[in-house]
Amino acid sequence: MKIKITETALNPWQEIENYQANKSELSGKFGATNIFIGTMRDFNDGDEVTSMTLEHYSGMTEKQLATIIEKTQQNYAILDVLLIHRVGLLLPNQPIVLIAIWAVHRGDAFDACREIMEALKSSTPFWKKENLTEGSRWVTKNSKGYQT
Amino acid sequence: MKIKITETALNPWQEIENYQANKSELSGKFGATNIFIGTMRDFNDGDEVTSMTLEHYSGMTEKQLATIIEKTQQNYAILDVLLIHRVGLLLPNQPIVLIAIWAVHRGDAFDACREIMEALKSSTPFWKKENLTEGSRWVTKNSKGYQT
Amino acid sequence: MSITVRYFASLREFLNKSEEKLETTTALEIKEVWTQLNPDKVLPENTLMAINMAYVDADQKVQVNDELAFFPPVTGGGG
Amino acid sequence: MSITVRYFASLREFLNKSEEKLETTTALEIKEVWTQLNPDKVLPENTLMAINMAYVDADQKVQVNDELAFFPPVTGGGG
């Protein structure tokens, strides 16, 4: 299991490939991988967003993520978790978060990934500030996750 | 949208990265990517599996996958789909299937990926034959997707 | 004029054939096609059927020049 | 002896401070800490609170040497 908070631009494919390659104990044992990647859009609530600043509560963030993962491991049979979250200045099309779950079976992988993602959004101390073409604004709530 | 059936070993990270890089119209427009990868295990039903032969009904497979994706596009707001499935001889730890969904929102990405995966397993004409340390056997039914 | 008939996976191995043609000038019931081509074999339970690469029920008629396929439950994917 | 108090995101900007210490030799109510440090500001509705990096309710007591944090609803993730 690995949790990483980083100010550096994130290449999710490289991260997953490297992580998996170094986990020899996973080889041949997992049948299902589910991966979620949240990526910065260049629009939100009808406005153009030129960049975003992600603030976090260092220390509590890692603690909260570990708690979320631990709880999910009690709910689903999963083999491994990789979770990386960006902080600092982000540009459109850059990944914000990566969650990868390895499991024997697909249902456990899908459900665990979804549960961790929803818990992360609702309880981990990250805050987004969007920079618009004119001015900036704090994001005050999460979307429900579906096109309306 | 891309559907590919291939006899060649599959690098999912390379495939997704290349596909996304060539889709300039997606840049800045998607907020969520959900990816499922099904990978060959070296065990099944308590036996060691040394390799697997994947047979398919060429032509109907592609047609059925296109129908599944079309139906899912009616149910969820998704921007793009990449689906690759291996056929032929597979070894443990090799990816069998890759499904990647790009959407504005996470719920649409998760649900569409899950729906396509379940529909693929239940209705696309692929068949697995497992080669054991002694002899071989056809897989006769799908797992429900959860550790029992 | 004929119907092309294909068999896949365990059914292909069981029958020891993957494709054959049944000469006919008229539409036939699926069961009739099976019986004519496999007179000594019972169609296994759970066998799936497709005409021209689309799933059909066992009571569907097969037209001349159609491709009819018989196959066991599918097991693709992974996980 | 003191309590460390931290503010994040929009609340940090609203108060124009990110961290301060409140000298005390006894445990205090969270509301008491807020009022002593921000006498002219109402604690915004929906403010979340954590003691030593774990979520707490507003009625929790803050012990000497604890770290107390106030912050708005969280908005991490993406999608």
Q: Judge whether residue D56 has pLDDT over 90.
A: yes
Identify the CA nearest to A13 among candidates A110, A80, A95.
A95
Instruction: Please report the pLDDT score of residue D79 as a whole number.
Output: 84
- State the alpha helices, DSSP H only, in C16-58: 30-37
CA C48 to chain centre: 8
Above pLDDT 70, what percent of chain B?
Answer: 100
Burial of B69 (0-12, 13-18, 19+ CB in 10 A): buried
Assign domain C2-71 to a CATH class: alpha beta
In this complex, do A36 and D79 lie within 8 Å of one another by their Cβ atoms?
A: yes
User: How far is Cα B83 from Cα B66, in angstroms, rounded to an integer?
Assistant: 10
User: How far is Cα B110 from Cα A121, in angstroms, rounded to an integer?
Assistant: 15
Q: How far does D44 lie from chain A, in Å, by closest CA?
A: 13
Q: Which residues pair with A38 in a beta bridge?
A: A97, B32
Above pLDDT 90, what percent of chain D?
Answer: 97
In this structure, are residues D3 and D68 in contact, taking their beta carbons and an 8 Å threshold? yes
- Give the predicted TM-score (pTM) of the model: 0.96
> Strand order in B32-39's β-sheet?
A2-6, A78-86, A95-103, A32-39, B32-39, B95-103, B78-86, B2-6
Above pLDDT 90, what percent of chain C?
Answer: 97
Confidence of residue D52 (pLDDT cuts 50, 70, 90): very high
Residues 6+ apart with CB under 8 A from C32: none
Residues of B in contact with C69 (CB under 8 A): 57, 60, 125
Average pLDDT over residues A92-111: 98
Kindly report the CATH number that applies to the domain delimited by A2-21+30-138.
Answer: 3.90.1170.40
Dihedral, CA of residue A107, residue A113, residue A115 and residue A120, to nearest 10: 180
Instruction: Please report the pLDDT score of residue B148 as a whole number.
Output: 73
Tokens of B60: 């109907």
Chain segment C11-37, per-residue pLDDT in tens: 999 999 999 999 999 999 999 999 999
Identify the three-state secondary structure at position B35: strand
Interchain CB contacts (distance < 8 Å): B and D? 11
Break chain A into its structural domains and give their ranges: 2-21+30-138
Find the helix or strand (DSSP H, E) in which A69 lies. helix A60-75
Q: Judge whether residue A57 has pLDDT over 90.
A: yes
Chains near D with 3+ CB pairs less than 8 A apart are: A, B
Break chain D into its structural domains and give their ranges: 2-71
In this structure, are residues B78 and B109 in contact, taking their beta carbons and an 8 Å threshold? yes
Average pLDDT over residues D63-78: 97
